[in-house]
A and B are shown apart, each in its own frame.
Chain A
Amino acid sequence: MPPVTIPAPGEWTSQLRRGVLELCILRLLRQRPSYGYEIVTTLDALGPLAAGENTVYPLLRRLKADHSLETFTRDSPAGPPRQYYRLTAEGRRRLAAIEREWSAMVVAVELAAVKAQVA
């Protein structure tokens, strides 16, 4: 029988974070456009969602490539012009779809705990 490897709690969090990161970025951009550095630092301040720039920037680029986000340039008070991201109509549809999945997932996880208590 092969040895069973149990992922460390940190690794489990990392895998979970990768899954929810797209949802969080789309949610951050629902109210107003934002630029890369601001998105990264906002996520960084949210504890378990601190995914690191090398995950967030490529993900932003993919969301743009699949038309969920679009970019525009705006001058910065200090430094080079900033590239802002904003949600497209496709991005809003995608966000709504992922939020439905997320809600169903959260309910299912909680139900699993309740069922375990009842059994």
Chain B
Amino acid sequence: MSVHHPVVERYMARLEQAIGALDPGDRREILQEIRNHIAEAMTAGRPLEGILGSLGPADALGRAYAIELLLHPPGRPRQGVVQRWFTIVGLVVVLSLPTLIVVSTLGSIGISFVAAGVASFALGVIELAGVLPSLHVSGLPPGVPILAGALLLILGMMSLAALRLYVRLITGTVRAAFLSARSAGPSRESAWSVL
């Protein structure tokens, strides 16, 4: 039995207005559900006035829906325990090769450039100061090893900084996956605090 009574239509129009802020899919299903409720109750022999009275004012019903859906936004569906641990293992497998390449490349560049930079800078300064008159780094003027040393030092430090950033990113990702796998309780507070 489909109900198309003017009073029902007025009620449904007000309800539609009251849930206007909700997602269109939610709105459609809510309106259908309330229409079904009215039809079921009328089939059961209840008077229309009593049915609408029991549903309460359309504005209040719409507010109740809005409170439930807007104040308690849904969380993401949680994965099962096995799936979550598979995610971690997959993450480790996928990240291990790039991590090996990035860490070894940035690490070796960083350490060798910093060491070479410091050495070159120091030798340039020693030659410039004439502390060791017998020391001749190259045929170049002493300013060149000083500048080259500073440049190498900067490049080495940048490489180490990039390595640090990468390690932080990776540990953050793995930690987040690990924590989500360990959280076994419900994602939201229970009914006690919600209502």
Q: List the interface of chain A (C-beta within 8 A of B).
A: 18-23, 35-37, 40, 52-55, 57-59, 61-62, 65-67, 71, 76, 78-80, 82-83, 88-90, 93-94, 97-98, 101
Within 8 A of A (CB), among B22-70: 26, 29-30, 32-37, 39-41, 43, 54-56, 60-61, 64-65, 67-69
How distant is the Cα of A97 from the Cα of B75 in the complex, in angstroms?
16
Cβ of B190 and Cβ of A80 under 8 Å apart? no
Cβ of B195 and Cβ of A18 under 8 Å apart? yes
Shortest beta-carbon distance from B22 to chain A in Å: 9
Known: A61-B26, A62-B72. A55 touches B64 (CB 8 A): yes
How distant is the Cα of A71 from the Cα of B64 in the complex, in angstroms?
20
Chain A: CB-nearest residue to B22: A61
Cβ of A53 and Cβ of B2 under 8 Å apart? no
How distant is the Cα of A90 from the Cα of B26 in the complex, in angstroms?
20
Some 21 contacts from A to B, beta carbons below 8 A apart, are A20-B191, A21-B195, A22-B191, A36-B36, A37-B40, A52-B56, A53-B54, A53-B56, A58-B68, A58-B69, A61-B26, A61-B30, A61-B33, A66-B74, A66-B75, A67-B77, A76-B40, A79-B2, A80-B1, A80-B36, A98-B186
**In the complex, which of the residues B30, B77, B191 contacts A90, with contact meaning CB atoms closer than 8 Å?**
B77
Cβ of B190 and Cβ of A97 under 8 Å apart? yes
Shortest beta-carbon distance from A114 to chain B in Å: 23
Q: List the interface of chain B (C-beta within 8 A of A).
A: 1-2, 26, 29-30, 32-37, 39-41, 43, 54-56, 60-61, 64-65, 67-69, 72-75, 77-78, 80, 185-188, 190-192, 194-195
How distant is the Cα of A11 from the Cα of B15 in the complex, in angstroms?
27
- Label chain B's interface by main secondary structure: helix
Cβ of A90 and Cβ of B60 under 8 Å apart? no
Cβ of B69 and Cβ of A61 under 8 Å apart? yes
Chain A residues, Cβ within 8 Å of B54: 52-53
Chain B residues, Cβ within 8 Å of A21: 191, 195
Cβ of A83 and Cβ of B33 under 8 Å apart? yes
Cβ of A61 and Cβ of B65 under 8 Å apart? yes
**In the complex, which of the residues A23, A57, A62 contacts B37, with contact meaning CB atoms closer than 8 Å?**
A57
Chain A residues, Cβ within 8 Å of B73: 65
How distant is the Cα of A93 from the Cα of B30 in the complex, in angstroms?
26
Chain A residues, Cβ within 8 Å of B187: 66
**In the complex, which of the residues B55, B75, B190 contacts A53, with contact meaning CB atoms closer than 8 Å?**
B55
Chain B residues, Cβ within 8 Å of A89: 80
Known: A83-B29, A97-B185. A53 touches B74 (CB 8 A): no
